[in-house]
Structures are given as C-alpha cells and as structure tokens.
C-alpha cells in the first residue's frame, strides 16, 4: 500500500509489509539498499527485538541514506554487524524492547500446546504406519491415545511458559526443582488418567489416527488465527531516555531479575554483586540508581561464566530424561509388557537426553574458548 504526496509521487507507508524495502530503495533508487534493510530487520527480529521497534530502528536510517547518497552498507556496515551492534547496545543500556518467547500469553500457550500435540500425534501415526508396513496389525485409536498428545502438549508447554515467567523471580535450584516436580506429578497424573480411560478400549480403527492428527492440527491453526493482544506500537522517541529514579528496593529487584535472566551467574554471585553494589552506594551516600544508573545495564555489565547456563541445562535435562525413563519403565513392569504409550516415554527420554548432550558440548566449547 502507498500514498501519493503533493507532487504525485508514490511513497510506501508502514502498513505495507514491504515498506522498508521500498523506502530504502526510494532513498537512492538502488534496490540493493532495500535488501540491506530487510536483512537488518530480520536480524533484529531473530534477536527478539519487538518487530514494531525493529522496523522503527531500521526505518530511521533511510533518511541518512538519502541525505548522504551512500549505501547503508557504506554508512553502517554489513546488515548483520549493524544489527548485532544495535542489539548489544540495547541490552547494555537495559532498554526494554525485547520479546521473551517463553513468556507466553494464554493464546500463545494454548496454540503452542496444540502445535506440540500435533507433532506428537504425527509421531504416533508414523509409528502405526511403520508397524503396519513391517507386517504388524493395524494400530487402532484408543481413548487414551487420543488424549495423550493434548495432555503432553499441555504439560510441556506449561513447563516452558512457567520457566519463562519465573526464571527472573526464583533462584535456579528452586526453579529446576519445581520443573522436575512438575514433570513427575504431570506424568503420574497422565498415567492415572490413561488407566481410567483404558476400559473404554478402541474408539476408532486405524484411520482414527489420521483424524487425531487432523484434529490437533486444526485446533492449532484455529488458535493461531485468533487475534492476539499486542503491545501498542512504540517509536524510538517514546523510549525512556531519562526514566524516573528508582528506589533502592526497586533497583535491586530489577537488577536481581536481570542477573538471573543472564543465566551465567550462580545465585551466590548474584547476591554478592547486589550486596557489593548496595555497600558502594551507601559508602558514597548515594542511591543505587544514582550510583549505577539503569539496573538492567548494571546486570549486563558484569562478567559471568559462559559455561554455567549450558551446564545447568544439561543437568536439568539429564534429570528429566531419567525421570521419563523411570516412569516409562515402571509402567512396563506394572503391565508386564510394552504398550503404545511406552513410545511417548521413549521419545521424551531420547529428546531430553539429546538436549543434555548438546548442552554438554556447549560446556566443553566454553571451556576451550576460555583457555
């Protein structure tokens, strides 16, 4: 979409999804400038910068390109480097322009749960087809199998959303303990529900698996089509450059949240940094806000252990993998044989174990880079 000015020339407006490319192309009449702008925007969005602000950050550069008559790459460097420098500066300044994908709204959480459920349902269908191709009996759809993807999708999405909302409020050991406890309680609850549904037997023949996949997929698509409550558009002029002073308690709360979100500092170091900051401010007879400025920027300025986050993640996923394996094995021993639901525990065990292994590799890489 575009509009014409008094001279009759067409100018793109920001409701046009290609307006950045068109704006930069119009600045010098060079299409490559528009490609630079789109790449810069993509890099910012991939770094979790809010898309409305990412468009604003990139869009403001078009005037400089037009005024200088030079390409954006000549003025600002490669798009990837400019975006990386911009993200670093925003994080160091503690500017709240980032989206956290784990802090889901109710709509996003429900949609994600159905999407995960669809993936699990597809896994069931693939296993059923493989079993049939290998000469086994067609796998009918039971009542417990029909609800299993939805229950597991809700459990896994709930874990992710809870982690996103609580990681800045709770120390990692507490958060990890709650996560493992949730997995155990959730898995036991699902197992008990399966036992209650088992007397219902099969509710559809083999083609019911296809309907199950279609049902969960349709639900995921329907939820994603619902209108979302988006944050109001913000321009760079509206970003707080001189925010109101924070009380010491407010400053400490925000700094603690920033330090925990980094995930590369143990809780003991978080406490030490905050105590040292408070002591220095008291020694200089100043508030924490006066002494250190933005608490998020303070949190970003401290050095950390780059291997701590992957090490914690590896331990957490290893424990969860063991929990899934134990719960699955207990079910096999109780039944005296295997059943379709064992595929769930096997898949989750393998997925968690693989994630733990990948994070251990990151730990080793961090150690090598530190030498």
Identify whether residues 39 and 140 lie together within a single domain.
Answer: no
Average pLDDT in the 1-16 region?
A: 42
Q: Supply the range of the domain harboring residue 275.
A: 248-301
**How far is Cα 341 from Cα 335, in angstroms, rounded to an integer?**
12
In a domain, 371, yes or no: yes
In a domain, 66, yes or no: yes
In a domain, 84, yes or no: yes
pLDDT at 189 over 70: yes
71-85 residue pLDDT tens = 888 888 998 999 888
When mean pLDDT is compared over 89-93, 97-101, 190-194, 248-252, the highest value belongs to 248-252
Domain-ending residue, one of 47, 69, 93: 93
In a domain, 242, yes or no: no
Identify whether residues 144 and 212 lie together within a single domain.
Answer: yes
Q: Which of these, 1, 33, 37, 39, lies nearest to 17 by C-alpha position?
A: 1
Identify whether residues 52 and 82 lie together within a single domain.
Answer: yes
Identify whether residues 124 and 205 lie together within a single domain.
Answer: yes
**How far is Cα 71 from Cα 77, in angstroms, rounded to an integer?**
9
290-308 residue pLDDT tens = 888 888 888 888 888 888 8
Identify whether residues 69 and 85 lie together within a single domain.
Answer: yes
pLDDT at 239 over 60: no
Structural domain count, the chain: 4
Identify whether residues 275 and 341 lie together within a single domain.
Answer: no
**How far is Cα 160 from Cα 101, in angstroms, rounded to an integer?**
9
pLDDT tier at 243 (50, 70, 90 boundaries)?
A: low
Identify whether residues 110 and 71 lie together within a single domain.
Answer: no
Across the chain, mean pLDDT equals 81
Decide: 105 and 136 in contact? Cβ < 8 Å: no
Reported pTM: 0.65
**How far is Cα 277 from Cα 54, in angstroms, rounded to an integer?**
33
In a domain, 183, yes or no: no
């Amino acid at each position: 979409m575009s509009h014409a000015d008094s001279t009759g020339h067409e100018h793109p407006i920001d409701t046009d999804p290609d307006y950045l490319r068109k704006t930069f192309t119009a600045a010098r009449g060079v299409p490559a400038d528009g490609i630079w702008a789109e790449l810069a925007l993509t890099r910012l969005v991939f770094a979790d910068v809010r898309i409305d602000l990412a468009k604003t950050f990139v869009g403001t550069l078009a005037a400089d390109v037009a005024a200088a008559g030079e390409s954006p790459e000549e003025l600002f460097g490669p798009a990837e480097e400019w975006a990386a420098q911009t993200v670093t500066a925003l994080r160091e300044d503690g500017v709240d322009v980032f989206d956290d994908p784990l802090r889901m709204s109710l709509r996003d959480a429900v949609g994600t749960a159905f999407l995960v459920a669809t993936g699990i349902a597809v896994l069931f269908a693939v296993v059923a087809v493989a079993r049939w191709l290998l000469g086994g009996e067609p796998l009918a759809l039971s009542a417990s199998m029909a609800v299993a993807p939805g229950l597991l999708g809700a459990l896994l999405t709930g874990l992710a959303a809870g982690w996103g909302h609580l990681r800045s409020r709770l120390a990692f050991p507490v958060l990890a303990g709650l996560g493992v406890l949730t997995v155990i309680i959730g898995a036991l609850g699902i197992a008990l529900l399966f036992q209650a549904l088992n007397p219902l037997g099969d509710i559809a023949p083999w083609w019911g698996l296809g309907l199950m996949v279609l049902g969960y997929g349709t639900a995921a698509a329907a939820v994603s089509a619902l209108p979302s409550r988006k944050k109001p558009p913000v321009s760079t002029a509206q970003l707080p450059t001189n925010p109101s002073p924070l009380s010491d308690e407010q400053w400490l709360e925000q700094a603690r949240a920033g330090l925990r979100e980094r995930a590369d500092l143990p809780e003991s170091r978080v406490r030490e940094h905050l105590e040292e900051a408070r002591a220095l401010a008291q020694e200089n007879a100043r508030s924490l806000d006066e002494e250190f400025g933005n608490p998020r920027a303070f949190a970003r300025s401290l050095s950390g252990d780059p291997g701590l986050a992957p090490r914690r993640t590896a331990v957490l996923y290893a424990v969860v993998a063991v929990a899934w394996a134990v719960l699955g094995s207990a079910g096999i021993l109780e039944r005296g044989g295997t059943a379709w639901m064992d595929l769930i525990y096997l898949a989750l065990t393998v997925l968690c174990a693989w994630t733990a292994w990948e994070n251990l590799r990151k730990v080793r890489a961090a150690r090598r880079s530190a030498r």
